[in-house]
Structure 1
Amino acid sequence: MSVSSVPSFELAPVVDRLRAAGCVFAEDEAALIASTARDQVEAAVMVDRRIAGLPLEHVLGWASFRGLRIAVDPGVFIPRRRTEFLVAEALQVTTPGAVVVDLGCGSGALGVAVAAERPVELHAADIELAAVRCAARNVEAWGGTVYQGDLFSALPAELRGRVDVLLANVPYVPTNEIRLLPPEARLYEPHVTLDGGPDGLATVRRVAAEAAAWLVPGGHVFVEMSEHQAPLARAVLQENGLTAYVATDEELTANVVIGVAD
Protein backbone atom coordinates (compact mmCIF):
# COMPACT_ATOMS: atom_id res chain seq x y z
CA MET A 1 0.00 0.00 0.00
CA SER A 2 1.39 3.43 -0.88
CA VAL A 3 1.11 6.45 1.38
CA SER A 4 -0.89 8.25 -1.29
CA SER A 5 -3.60 5.57 -1.11
CA VAL A 6 -4.78 6.92 2.26
CA PRO A 7 -5.39 10.63 1.46
CA SER A 8 -7.81 11.26 4.35
CA PHE A 9 -5.15 10.76 7.01
CA GLU A 10 -2.21 13.02 7.78
CA LEU A 11 0.66 10.58 7.50
CA ALA A 12 3.77 12.75 7.55
CA PRO A 13 3.95 13.16 11.36
CA VAL A 14 3.29 9.45 11.83
CA VAL A 15 6.03 8.54 9.37
CA ASP A 16 8.43 10.89 11.16
CA ARG A 17 7.69 9.36 14.57
CA LEU A 18 8.04 5.80 13.32
CA ARG A 19 11.24 6.57 11.46
CA ALA A 20 12.72 8.28 14.52
CA ALA A 21 11.90 5.14 16.52
CA GLY A 22 13.89 3.04 14.08
CA CYS A 23 11.11 1.53 11.96
CA VAL A 24 12.78 0.72 8.65
CA PHE A 25 9.53 0.66 6.69
CA ALA A 26 8.02 3.71 8.38
CA GLU A 27 5.95 4.87 5.38
CA ASP A 28 4.41 1.45 4.81
CA GLU A 29 3.66 1.01 8.51
CA ALA A 30 2.10 4.46 8.74
CA ALA A 31 -0.17 3.68 5.81
CA LEU A 32 -1.26 0.39 7.37
CA ILE A 33 -2.01 2.08 10.68
CA ALA A 34 -4.00 4.76 8.88
CA SER A 35 -5.99 2.16 6.95
CA THR A 36 -6.82 0.26 10.15
CA ALA A 37 -7.47 2.99 12.75
CA ARG A 38 -11.05 4.21 13.07
CA ASP A 39 -9.96 7.74 13.90
CA GLN A 40 -6.93 9.88 14.64
CA VAL A 41 -7.05 9.16 18.37
CA GLU A 42 -6.90 5.41 17.81
CA ALA A 43 -4.14 5.90 15.27
CA ALA A 44 -2.09 7.83 17.83
CA VAL A 45 -2.50 5.01 20.35
CA MET A 46 -1.44 2.48 17.73
CA VAL A 47 1.65 4.52 16.88
CA ASP A 48 2.57 4.72 20.57
CA ARG A 49 2.27 0.94 20.90
CA ARG A 50 4.41 0.40 17.82
CA ILE A 51 7.08 2.80 19.05
CA ALA A 52 7.08 0.94 22.37
CA GLY A 53 8.15 -2.17 20.46
CA LEU A 54 4.92 -4.10 19.94
CA PRO A 55 4.96 -6.05 16.66
CA LEU A 56 3.13 -4.21 13.89
CA GLU A 57 0.67 -7.08 13.45
CA HIS A 58 -0.31 -6.93 17.10
CA VAL A 59 -0.72 -3.18 16.79
CA LEU A 60 -2.96 -3.55 13.75
CA GLY A 61 -4.82 -6.60 15.05
CA TRP A 62 -4.20 -8.50 11.83
CA ALA A 63 -1.48 -9.96 9.65
CA SER A 64 -1.35 -10.31 5.90
CA PHE A 65 -0.95 -13.95 4.84
CA ARG A 66 -1.36 -15.10 1.23
CA GLY A 67 -3.49 -12.05 0.52
CA LEU A 68 -5.79 -12.60 3.51
CA ARG A 69 -6.23 -10.47 6.61
CA ILE A 70 -5.73 -12.86 9.50
CA ALA A 71 -6.79 -11.63 12.94
CA VAL A 72 -3.81 -11.73 15.32
CA ASP A 73 -4.27 -10.88 18.99
CA PRO A 74 -1.49 -9.87 21.40
CA GLY A 75 0.30 -12.94 22.70
CA VAL A 76 -0.47 -14.98 19.58
CA PHE A 77 2.20 -16.17 17.15
CA ILE A 78 2.36 -14.03 14.01
CA PRO A 79 2.32 -16.01 10.74
CA ARG A 80 5.51 -15.47 8.75
CA ARG A 81 5.63 -14.81 5.03
CA ARG A 82 8.00 -17.75 4.49
CA THR A 83 5.28 -20.08 5.79
CA GLU A 84 3.20 -19.20 2.73
CA PHE A 85 5.44 -21.74 0.96
CA LEU A 86 4.18 -24.50 3.27
CA VAL A 87 0.61 -23.62 2.30
CA ALA A 88 1.53 -23.58 -1.39
CA GLU A 89 3.00 -27.07 -1.07
CA ALA A 90 -0.06 -28.32 0.82
CA LEU A 91 -2.43 -26.94 -1.80
CA GLN A 92 -0.77 -29.11 -4.42
CA VAL A 93 -2.20 -32.22 -2.75
CA THR A 94 -5.40 -30.79 -1.24
CA THR A 95 -8.52 -31.88 -3.10
CA PRO A 96 -12.09 -30.58 -2.56
CA GLY A 97 -13.63 -32.13 0.53
CA ALA A 98 -10.26 -33.06 2.06
CA VAL A 99 -9.95 -33.25 5.84
CA VAL A 100 -7.37 -30.63 6.82
CA VAL A 101 -5.91 -30.22 10.31
CA ASP A 102 -3.87 -27.18 11.35
CA LEU A 103 -1.96 -28.49 14.37
CA GLY A 104 -0.39 -25.93 16.69
CA CYS A 105 -2.43 -23.46 14.70
CA GLY A 106 -1.69 -20.15 16.42
CA SER A 107 -3.97 -17.70 14.63
CA GLY A 108 -5.19 -20.46 12.29
CA ALA A 109 -3.61 -18.75 9.30
CA LEU A 110 -2.38 -21.91 7.56
CA GLY A 111 -5.68 -23.73 7.64
CA VAL A 112 -7.59 -20.62 6.61
CA ALA A 113 -5.25 -20.03 3.69
CA VAL A 114 -5.90 -23.57 2.44
CA ALA A 115 -9.66 -23.26 2.99
CA ALA A 116 -9.69 -19.96 1.10
CA GLU A 117 -8.61 -21.82 -2.04
CA ARG A 118 -10.23 -25.24 -1.58
CA PRO A 119 -13.54 -26.34 -0.05
CA VAL A 120 -12.29 -28.53 2.82
CA GLU A 121 -13.30 -29.89 6.20
CA LEU A 122 -11.11 -27.74 8.41
CA HIS A 123 -9.98 -28.45 11.97
CA ALA A 124 -7.40 -26.57 14.04
CA ALA A 125 -5.88 -26.97 17.48
CA ASP A 126 -3.52 -25.16 19.82
CA ILE A 127 -2.45 -25.54 23.43
CA GLU A 128 -2.63 -21.79 24.14
CA LEU A 129 -6.07 -20.44 25.08
CA ALA A 130 -5.28 -17.03 23.56
CA ALA A 131 -4.44 -18.73 20.28
CA VAL A 132 -7.61 -20.82 20.33
CA ARG A 133 -9.75 -17.73 20.87
CA CYS A 134 -7.97 -15.88 18.09
CA ALA A 135 -8.03 -18.85 15.70
CA ALA A 136 -11.74 -19.33 16.26
CA ARG A 137 -12.41 -15.89 14.77
CA ASN A 138 -10.44 -16.82 11.67
CA VAL A 139 -11.23 -20.51 11.25
CA GLU A 140 -14.95 -20.47 12.03
CA ALA A 141 -15.48 -17.92 9.26
CA TRP A 142 -14.49 -20.72 6.86
CA GLY A 143 -16.70 -23.33 8.51
CA GLY A 144 -13.89 -24.84 10.55
CA THR A 145 -13.61 -25.90 14.19
CA VAL A 146 -10.90 -25.06 16.72
CA TYR A 147 -9.91 -27.20 19.72
CA GLN A 148 -7.68 -26.52 22.72
CA GLY A 149 -5.10 -29.07 23.78
CA ASP A 150 -1.61 -30.45 23.32
CA LEU A 151 -1.10 -31.52 19.69
CA PHE A 152 -3.16 -34.60 18.74
CA SER A 153 -4.74 -34.90 22.19
CA ALA A 154 -6.85 -31.86 21.31
CA LEU A 155 -8.47 -33.53 18.31
CA PRO A 156 -11.70 -35.55 18.42
CA ALA A 157 -11.08 -39.30 18.18
CA GLU A 158 -13.23 -39.59 15.07
CA LEU A 159 -10.57 -37.75 13.07
CA ARG A 160 -8.06 -40.52 13.71
CA GLY A 161 -7.19 -42.15 10.37
CA ARG A 162 -9.24 -39.58 8.42
CA VAL A 163 -6.81 -36.67 7.96
CA ASP A 164 -5.76 -35.96 4.38
CA VAL A 165 -3.57 -32.92 5.04
CA LEU A 166 -1.81 -32.23 8.34
CA LEU A 167 -0.30 -28.76 8.64
CA ALA A 168 2.14 -28.79 11.55
CA ASN A 169 4.04 -25.52 11.75
CA VAL A 170 5.33 -26.41 15.20
CA PRO A 171 8.20 -24.72 17.13
CA TYR A 172 11.67 -25.44 15.80
CA VAL A 173 13.97 -22.82 17.36
CA PRO A 174 16.57 -24.51 19.61
CA THR A 175 16.07 -23.41 23.20
CA ASN A 176 19.44 -21.70 23.54
CA GLU A 177 18.86 -19.71 20.33
CA ILE A 178 15.62 -18.03 21.42
CA ARG A 179 17.69 -15.28 23.03
CA LEU A 180 19.05 -14.47 19.56
CA LEU A 181 15.63 -13.83 18.04
CA PRO A 182 14.46 -10.26 17.29
CA PRO A 183 12.83 -8.62 20.34
CA GLU A 184 9.43 -8.56 18.61
CA ALA A 185 9.36 -12.36 18.62
CA ARG A 186 11.31 -12.98 21.82
CA LEU A 187 9.32 -10.56 23.97
CA TYR A 188 5.82 -10.65 22.51
CA GLU A 189 5.22 -14.19 21.27
CA PRO A 190 4.78 -17.10 23.71
CA HIS A 191 7.95 -19.15 24.09
CA VAL A 192 5.89 -22.32 23.66
CA THR A 193 5.35 -21.24 20.04
CA LEU A 194 9.09 -20.84 19.48
CA ASP A 195 10.92 -23.35 21.67
CA GLY A 196 11.71 -26.58 19.83
CA GLY A 197 13.88 -28.06 22.58
CA PRO A 198 17.65 -28.53 22.64
CA ASP A 199 18.00 -29.21 18.90
CA GLY A 200 14.73 -27.64 17.75
CA LEU A 201 13.22 -31.01 16.84
CA ALA A 202 11.48 -31.99 20.08
CA THR A 203 7.96 -31.10 18.95
CA VAL A 204 8.55 -32.45 15.45
CA ARG A 205 9.43 -35.81 16.99
CA ARG A 206 6.15 -35.80 18.89
CA VAL A 207 4.17 -34.98 15.74
CA ALA A 208 6.00 -37.64 13.73
CA ALA A 209 5.36 -40.31 16.37
CA GLU A 210 1.58 -40.04 15.90
CA ALA A 211 1.11 -38.61 12.42
CA ALA A 212 0.75 -41.92 10.57
CA ALA A 213 -2.09 -43.01 12.87
CA TRP A 214 -4.09 -39.86 12.07
CA LEU A 215 -3.45 -39.72 8.33
CA VAL A 216 -5.35 -41.59 5.65
CA PRO A 217 -3.19 -43.81 3.41
CA GLY A 218 -1.51 -41.34 1.07
CA GLY A 219 -2.17 -38.46 3.48
CA HIS A 220 0.46 -35.76 3.89
CA VAL A 221 2.05 -33.92 6.81
CA PHE A 222 3.84 -30.60 6.26
CA VAL A 223 6.43 -29.26 8.69
CA GLU A 224 8.50 -26.07 8.37
CA MET A 225 12.19 -26.30 9.30
CA SER A 226 15.41 -24.36 8.94
CA GLU A 227 17.80 -25.42 6.20
CA HIS A 228 20.15 -27.34 8.46
CA GLN A 229 17.30 -28.99 10.41
CA ALA A 230 15.32 -30.15 7.37
CA PRO A 231 17.39 -33.30 6.66
CA LEU A 232 17.17 -34.26 10.34
CA ALA A 233 13.41 -33.75 10.39
CA ARG A 234 13.10 -35.80 7.19
CA ALA A 235 14.89 -38.67 8.94
CA VAL A 236 12.56 -38.32 11.94
CA LEU A 237 9.48 -38.68 9.72
CA GLN A 238 10.98 -41.68 7.94
CA GLU A 239 11.81 -43.35 11.26
CA ASN A 240 8.10 -43.10 12.08
CA GLY A 241 6.90 -44.90 8.97
CA LEU A 242 6.40 -41.98 6.58
CA THR A 243 7.96 -41.47 3.18
CA ALA A 244 9.57 -38.04 3.45
CA TYR A 245 11.23 -35.40 1.32
CA VAL A 246 12.24 -31.73 1.55
CA ALA A 247 10.90 -28.87 -0.57
CA THR A 248 12.71 -25.52 -0.66
CA ASP A 249 11.91 -22.00 -1.81
CA GLU A 250 15.13 -20.00 -2.04
CA GLU A 251 13.40 -16.64 -2.48
CA LEU A 252 11.50 -17.05 0.79
CA THR A 253 14.37 -19.00 2.41
CA ALA A 254 11.71 -21.54 3.32
CA ASN A 255 12.15 -25.26 3.86
CA VAL A 256 9.25 -27.66 4.24
CA VAL A 257 9.60 -31.31 5.20
CA ILE A 258 6.78 -33.38 3.74
CA GLY A 259 5.81 -36.82 4.96
CA VAL A 260 3.45 -39.20 3.17
CA ALA A 261 1.62 -42.04 4.90
CA ASP A 262 1.87 -45.45 3.22
Structure 2
Amino acid sequence: MPHTPETAGPPPAPPAPQTSHAAVTARLRAAGCVFAEDEARIILDTAATPAEAAVMTAERAAGRPLEHVVGWAEFCSLRIEVGAGVFVPRRRTELLVREAVALGRGALAARGRVVVVDLCCGSGAVGAALAAALGRTELHAADLDPAAVACAARNIAAAGGRVHRGDLFAALPDALRGTVDVLAANVPYVPTGAVALLPSEARDHEARIALDGGPDGLDVLRRVAADAARWLAPGGSVLVEAGERQADTAAGILAEGGLLARTVTDDDLGATAVVGTRPPR
Protein backbone atom coordinates (compact mmCIF):
# COMPACT_ATOMS: atom_id res chain seq x y z
CA MET A 1 0.00 0.00 0.00
CA PRO A 2 1.25 3.50 -0.64
CA HIS A 3 2.44 5.48 2.35
CA THR A 4 -0.13 8.03 3.59
CA PRO A 5 1.00 10.81 5.94
CA GLU A 6 -0.89 10.97 9.21
CA THR A 7 -1.71 14.69 8.80
CA ALA A 8 -1.79 16.91 5.76
CA GLY A 9 0.38 20.01 6.00
CA PRO A 10 -0.84 23.54 5.22
CA PRO A 11 -0.96 24.58 1.57
CA PRO A 12 2.19 26.30 0.36
CA ALA A 13 2.24 30.05 0.91
CA PRO A 14 1.89 32.20 -2.19
CA PRO A 15 5.12 33.83 -3.31
CA ALA A 16 5.90 37.12 -1.60
CA PRO A 17 5.23 40.24 -3.68
CA GLN A 18 8.30 41.33 -5.61
CA THR A 19 8.71 44.80 -4.16
CA SER A 20 12.43 45.43 -4.17
CA HIS A 21 13.43 48.67 -5.88
CA ALA A 22 14.89 46.69 -8.77
CA ALA A 23 11.74 44.60 -9.19
CA VAL A 24 9.37 47.57 -9.09
CA THR A 25 11.58 49.52 -11.47
CA ALA A 26 11.62 46.62 -13.93
CA ARG A 27 7.83 46.32 -13.80
CA LEU A 28 7.33 50.02 -14.40
CA ARG A 29 9.94 50.20 -17.13
CA ALA A 30 8.29 47.30 -18.94
CA ALA A 31 5.01 49.26 -18.77
CA GLY A 32 6.65 52.23 -20.47
CA CYS A 33 7.19 54.54 -17.47
CA VAL A 34 9.99 56.90 -18.49
CA PHE A 35 11.03 57.72 -14.93
CA ALA A 36 10.67 54.16 -13.63
CA GLU A 37 13.48 54.35 -11.06
CA ASP A 38 12.19 57.55 -9.47
CA GLU A 39 8.61 56.30 -9.49
CA ALA A 40 9.64 53.01 -7.89
CA ARG A 41 11.32 54.93 -5.08
CA ILE A 42 8.20 57.04 -4.50
CA ILE A 43 5.95 53.98 -4.41
CA LEU A 44 8.20 52.13 -1.97
CA ASP A 45 8.58 55.19 0.26
CA THR A 46 4.79 55.69 0.34
CA ALA A 47 3.51 52.13 0.72
CA ALA A 48 3.04 50.88 4.28
CA THR A 49 3.50 47.19 3.41
CA PRO A 50 4.96 45.08 0.59
CA ALA A 51 1.42 44.09 -0.38
CA GLU A 52 0.39 47.74 -0.71
CA ALA A 53 3.51 48.44 -2.77
CA ALA A 54 2.59 45.56 -5.07
CA VAL A 55 -0.92 46.97 -5.58
CA MET A 56 0.46 50.45 -6.27
CA THR A 57 2.95 49.06 -8.74
CA ALA A 58 0.23 47.18 -10.61
CA GLU A 59 -1.99 50.29 -10.76
CA ARG A 60 0.85 52.45 -12.06
CA ALA A 61 1.82 49.81 -14.63
CA ALA A 62 -1.80 49.81 -15.80
CA GLY A 63 -1.56 53.54 -16.59
CA ARG A 64 -3.01 55.25 -13.53
CA PRO A 65 -1.17 58.52 -12.76
CA LEU A 66 1.53 58.06 -10.14
CA GLU A 67 0.08 60.89 -8.04
CA HIS A 68 -3.31 59.18 -7.90
CA VAL A 69 -1.63 55.87 -7.08
CA VAL A 70 0.33 57.18 -4.09
CA GLY A 71 -2.21 59.91 -3.17
CA TRP A 72 0.09 62.91 -3.31
CA ALA A 73 2.19 65.14 -5.56
CA GLU A 74 5.23 67.28 -4.87
CA PHE A 75 4.59 70.92 -5.76
CA CYS A 76 6.69 73.93 -4.74
CA SER A 77 8.46 71.68 -2.20
CA LEU A 78 5.13 70.77 -0.57
CA ARG A 79 3.44 67.38 -0.43
CA ILE A 80 -0.03 67.99 -1.86
CA GLU A 81 -2.77 65.40 -1.43
CA VAL A 82 -4.29 64.41 -4.77
CA GLY A 83 -7.50 62.38 -4.74
CA ALA A 84 -8.81 60.14 -7.50
CA GLY A 85 -9.96 62.14 -10.50
CA VAL A 86 -8.52 65.42 -9.23
CA PHE A 87 -6.26 67.48 -11.49
CA VAL A 88 -2.61 66.75 -10.72
CA PRO A 89 -0.55 69.93 -10.14
CA ARG A 90 2.09 70.39 -12.83
CA ARG A 91 5.59 71.62 -12.22
CA ARG A 92 5.16 74.29 -14.91
CA THR A 93 2.58 76.00 -12.68
CA GLU A 94 5.40 76.90 -10.30
CA LEU A 95 6.03 79.87 -12.62
CA LEU A 96 2.55 81.20 -11.84
CA VAL A 97 3.20 80.69 -8.12
CA ARG A 98 6.54 82.47 -8.31
CA GLU A 99 4.98 85.52 -9.96
CA ALA A 100 2.07 85.49 -7.53
CA VAL A 101 4.41 85.39 -4.53
CA ALA A 102 6.28 88.44 -5.78
CA LEU A 103 3.01 90.34 -6.17
CA GLY A 104 1.71 89.16 -2.81
CA ARG A 105 4.82 90.37 -1.02
CA GLY A 106 4.04 93.87 -2.23
CA ALA A 107 0.64 93.73 -0.54
CA LEU A 108 2.22 92.33 2.62
CA ALA A 109 4.70 95.19 2.74
CA ALA A 110 1.95 97.76 2.28
CA ARG A 111 -0.72 96.36 4.63
CA GLY A 112 0.76 93.50 6.61
CA ARG A 113 -1.66 90.96 5.10
CA VAL A 114 -2.60 89.63 1.68
CA VAL A 115 -5.91 88.32 0.33
CA VAL A 116 -5.41 85.36 -2.01
CA VAL A 117 -7.96 83.48 -4.11
CA ASP A 118 -7.16 80.19 -5.81
CA LEU A 119 -9.85 79.95 -8.51
CA CYS A 120 -10.36 76.65 -10.37
CA CYS A 121 -8.30 75.36 -7.49
CA GLY A 122 -8.27 71.62 -8.18
CA SER A 123 -6.26 70.13 -5.33
CA GLY A 124 -5.62 73.58 -3.84
CA ALA A 125 -1.92 73.25 -4.61
CA VAL A 126 -1.48 76.84 -5.78
CA GLY A 127 -3.26 78.30 -2.76
CA ALA A 128 -1.31 76.08 -0.37
CA ALA A 129 1.98 77.11 -1.97
CA LEU A 130 1.11 80.81 -1.84
CA ALA A 131 0.10 80.64 1.82
CA ALA A 132 3.30 78.78 2.68
CA ALA A 133 5.45 81.38 0.92
CA LEU A 134 3.60 84.51 2.01
CA GLY A 135 2.62 83.80 5.61
CA ARG A 136 -0.07 86.26 6.72
CA THR A 137 -2.63 85.25 4.14
CA GLU A 138 -6.41 85.26 3.97
CA LEU A 139 -6.84 82.34 1.61
CA HIS A 140 -9.94 81.33 -0.33
CA ALA A 141 -10.18 78.56 -2.93
CA ALA A 142 -13.02 77.58 -5.25
CA ASP A 143 -13.86 74.86 -7.73
CA LEU A 144 -16.94 73.37 -9.35
CA ASP A 145 -15.84 69.73 -8.95
CA PRO A 146 -16.88 68.28 -5.55
CA ALA A 147 -13.91 65.87 -5.50
CA ALA A 148 -11.54 68.80 -6.01
CA VAL A 149 -13.26 70.85 -3.30
CA ALA A 150 -12.90 68.03 -0.77
CA CYS A 151 -9.26 67.55 -1.69
CA ALA A 152 -8.43 71.26 -1.55
CA ALA A 153 -10.07 71.59 1.85
CA ARG A 154 -7.55 69.12 3.26
CA ASN A 155 -4.59 70.77 1.54
CA ILE A 156 -5.26 74.33 2.68
CA ALA A 157 -6.59 73.56 6.15
CA ALA A 158 -3.21 74.15 7.79
CA ALA A 159 -3.15 77.66 6.31
CA GLY A 160 -6.60 78.43 7.68
CA GLY A 161 -7.98 78.61 4.15
CA ARG A 162 -11.63 78.31 3.16
CA VAL A 163 -12.85 76.32 0.17
CA HIS A 164 -16.05 77.16 -1.72
CA ARG A 165 -17.86 75.07 -4.29
CA GLY A 166 -19.35 76.80 -7.29
CA ASP A 167 -18.83 78.26 -10.75
CA LEU A 168 -15.92 80.72 -10.73
CA PHE A 169 -16.72 83.95 -8.84
CA ALA A 170 -20.23 82.80 -7.98
CA ALA A 171 -18.61 80.51 -5.41
CA LEU A 172 -16.92 83.34 -3.51
CA PRO A 173 -18.31 85.39 -0.60
CA ASP A 174 -19.54 88.80 -1.75
CA ALA A 175 -17.41 90.40 0.95
CA LEU A 176 -14.32 89.63 -1.14
CA ARG A 177 -15.37 91.98 -3.95
CA GLY A 178 -12.73 94.65 -4.45
CA THR A 179 -10.35 93.18 -1.85
CA VAL A 180 -8.37 90.42 -3.62
CA ASP A 181 -4.66 91.12 -3.93
CA VAL A 182 -3.70 87.93 -5.75
CA LEU A 183 -6.18 85.98 -7.87
CA ALA A 184 -4.55 82.79 -9.14
CA ALA A 185 -6.87 81.32 -11.76
CA ASN A 186 -5.31 78.21 -13.26
CA VAL A 187 -8.21 77.81 -15.66
CA PRO A 188 -8.45 74.95 -18.17
CA TYR A 189 -6.87 76.03 -21.47
CA VAL A 190 -6.71 72.94 -23.67
CA PRO A 191 -8.81 73.44 -26.83
CA THR A 192 -11.71 70.99 -26.96
CA GLY A 193 -10.39 69.34 -30.10
CA ALA A 194 -7.02 68.69 -28.48
CA VAL A 195 -8.29 66.98 -25.32
CA ALA A 196 -8.30 63.62 -27.10
CA LEU A 197 -4.62 64.13 -27.91
CA LEU A 198 -3.57 64.52 -24.28
CA PRO A 199 -1.62 61.72 -22.59
CA SER A 200 -3.96 59.04 -21.28
CA GLU A 201 -2.97 59.85 -17.70
CA ALA A 202 -4.71 63.21 -18.05
CA ARG A 203 -7.39 62.29 -20.57
CA ASP A 204 -8.62 59.20 -18.75
CA HIS A 205 -7.98 60.04 -15.10
CA GLU A 206 -8.58 63.77 -14.57
CA ALA A 207 -11.90 65.60 -14.63
CA ARG A 208 -12.65 66.94 -18.11
CA ILE A 209 -13.75 70.29 -16.70
CA ALA A 210 -10.19 70.75 -15.44
CA LEU A 211 -8.79 70.34 -18.97
CA ASP A 212 -11.27 71.53 -21.61
CA GLY A 213 -11.10 75.26 -22.26
CA GLY A 214 -13.54 75.40 -25.18
CA PRO A 215 -12.94 75.72 -28.93
CA ASP A 216 -9.76 77.81 -28.66
CA GLY A 217 -8.96 76.90 -25.06
CA LEU A 218 -9.71 80.36 -23.72
CA ASP A 219 -13.45 80.31 -22.96
CA VAL A 220 -13.03 80.03 -19.18
CA LEU A 221 -10.35 82.73 -19.21
CA ARG A 222 -12.81 85.06 -20.98
CA ARG A 223 -15.32 84.55 -18.18
CA VAL A 224 -12.66 85.20 -15.53
CA ALA A 225 -11.40 88.32 -17.30
CA ALA A 226 -14.91 89.75 -17.63
CA ASP A 227 -15.35 89.91 -13.84
CA ALA A 228 -11.84 89.93 -12.39
CA ALA A 229 -11.49 93.71 -12.03
CA ARG A 230 -14.57 93.83 -9.79
CA TRP A 231 -12.99 91.37 -7.37
CA LEU A 232 -9.44 92.69 -7.37
CA ALA A 233 -8.24 95.34 -4.96
CA PRO A 234 -6.72 98.43 -6.59
CA GLY A 235 -3.30 97.23 -7.78
CA GLY A 236 -4.34 93.59 -7.36
CA SER A 237 -3.55 91.03 -10.04
CA VAL A 238 -5.03 87.97 -11.68
CA LEU A 239 -2.60 85.31 -12.94
CA VAL A 240 -3.46 82.61 -15.46
CA GLU A 241 -1.51 79.90 -17.23
CA ALA A 242 -1.67 79.56 -21.01
CA GLY A 243 -0.03 77.79 -23.89
CA GLU A 244 2.77 79.66 -25.59
CA ARG A 245 0.69 80.21 -28.73
CA GLN A 246 -2.25 81.45 -26.68
CA ALA A 247 -0.32 84.05 -24.69
CA ASP A 248 -0.92 87.10 -26.91
CA THR A 249 -4.62 86.37 -27.20
CA ALA A 250 -4.88 85.73 -23.46
CA ALA A 251 -3.16 89.04 -22.71
CA GLY A 252 -5.61 90.81 -25.02
CA ILE A 253 -8.55 89.21 -23.23
CA LEU A 254 -7.29 90.48 -19.87
CA ALA A 255 -6.72 93.94 -21.34
CA GLU A 256 -10.31 93.98 -22.63
CA GLY A 257 -11.36 93.38 -19.02
CA GLY A 258 -9.72 96.65 -17.98
CA LEU A 259 -6.46 95.13 -16.71
CA LEU A 260 -2.84 95.96 -17.48
CA ALA A 261 -1.57 92.74 -19.03
CA ARG A 262 1.91 91.25 -19.32
CA THR A 263 3.30 87.82 -20.14
CA VAL A 264 6.04 85.90 -18.34
CA THR A 265 7.76 82.72 -19.48
CA ASP A 266 10.20 80.15 -18.14
CA ASP A 267 11.94 78.01 -20.74
CA ASP A 268 13.24 75.54 -18.16
CA LEU A 269 9.71 74.84 -16.95
CA GLY A 270 8.19 75.14 -20.41
CA ALA A 271 5.70 77.52 -18.83
CA THR A 272 3.82 80.66 -19.84
CA ALA A 273 1.74 82.80 -17.50
CA VAL A 274 -0.24 85.95 -18.19
CA VAL A 275 -0.73 88.57 -15.49
CA GLY A 276 -3.48 91.19 -15.48
CA THR A 277 -3.30 94.01 -12.91
CA ARG A 278 -6.09 96.34 -11.89
CA PRO A 279 -4.78 99.91 -12.14
CA PRO A 280 -4.32 101.53 -8.72
CA ARG A 281 -6.54 104.42 -7.80
Residue in 2 that maps onto 1:5: none
Measured after TM superposition, the shift of residue 29 of structure 1 is: 0.5
Measured after TM superposition, the shift of residue 114 of structure 1 is: 0.7
Residue in 2 that maps onto 1:252: 269
Measured after TM superposition, the shift of residue 35 of structure 1 is: 0.5
SS of corresponding position for 1:244:
strand
The CA distance in 1 between the partners of 2:86 and 2:56, in whole Å, is: 18
The CA distance in 2 between the partners of 1:136 and 1:256, in whole Å, is: 25
Match of 1:130 among 124, 134, 147: 147
Residue 197 (structure 2) pairs with residue 180 (structure 1): yes
Match of 1:53 among 50, 63, 83: 63
The CA distance in 1 between the partners of 2:276 and 2:48, in whole Å, is: 45
SS of corresponding position for 1:222:
strand
Residue 125 (structure 2) pairs with residue 109 (structure 1): yes
Q: How does 1:165-176 map onto structure 2 within 5 Å?
A: 165-176=182-193
Larger radius of gyration: 2
The CA distance in 1 between the partners of 2:155 and 2:80, in whole Å, is: 7
Residue in 2 that maps onto 1:3: none
SS of corresponding position for 1:228:
helix
Residue in 2 that maps onto 1:146: 163
> Aligned pairs, how many?
254
Give the TM-score normalised by the residue count of structure 1.
0.96
Residue in 1 that maps onto 2:255: 238
Mark the runs of 5 or more structure 1 residues left unpaired by the alignment: 1-8
The CA distance in 1 between the partners of 2:211 and 2:37, in whole Å, is: 29
The letter for the 1-side match of 2:250 is: A
* RMSD of aligned alpha carbons: 0.8
Match of 1:84 among 94, 106, 126: 94
The CA distance in 2 between the partners of 1:87 and 1:117, in whole Å, is: 9
The letter for the 1-side match of 2:79 is: R
Tell me the percent identity: 60
Match of 1:74 among 67, 81, 84: 84
Residue in 2 that maps onto 1:30: 40
Measured after TM superposition, the shift of residue 250 of structure 1 is: 1.1
SS of corresponding position for 1:64:
strand
Measured after TM superposition, the shift of residue 13 of structure 1 is: 1.1
Measured after TM superposition, the shift of residue 12 of structure 1 is: 1.4
Match of 1:11 among 16, 21, 25: 21
Measured after TM superposition, the shift of residue 217 of structure 1 is: 0.5
Of 201-210 and 94-103, deviating more is 94-103
Question: 1:62-87: CA deviations, max 9, x gaps?
Answer: 00001110000010000000000000
Give the TM-score normalised by the residue count of structure 2.
0.89
Q: After the TM superposition, which segments of 4 or more aligned residues of structure 1 sit over 4 Å from their partners?
A: none
SS of corresponding position for 1:93:
helix
The CA distance in 1 between the partners of 2:175 and 2:65, in whole Å, is: 38
Measured after TM superposition, the shift of residue 10 of structure 1 is: 2.1
Question: 1:183-225: CA deviations, max 9, x gaps?
Answer: 0000000110000000001000000000000000100000000
Mark the runs of 5 or more structure 2 residues left unpaired by the alignment: 1-18
Residue in 1 that maps onto 2:223: 206
The letter for the 1-side match of 2:123 is: S
The CA distance in 1 between the partners of 2:195 and 2:259, in whole Å, is: 30
The CA distance in 1 between the partners of 2:268 and 2:37, in whole Å, is: 24
Residue 138 (structure 2) pairs with residue 121 (structure 1): yes
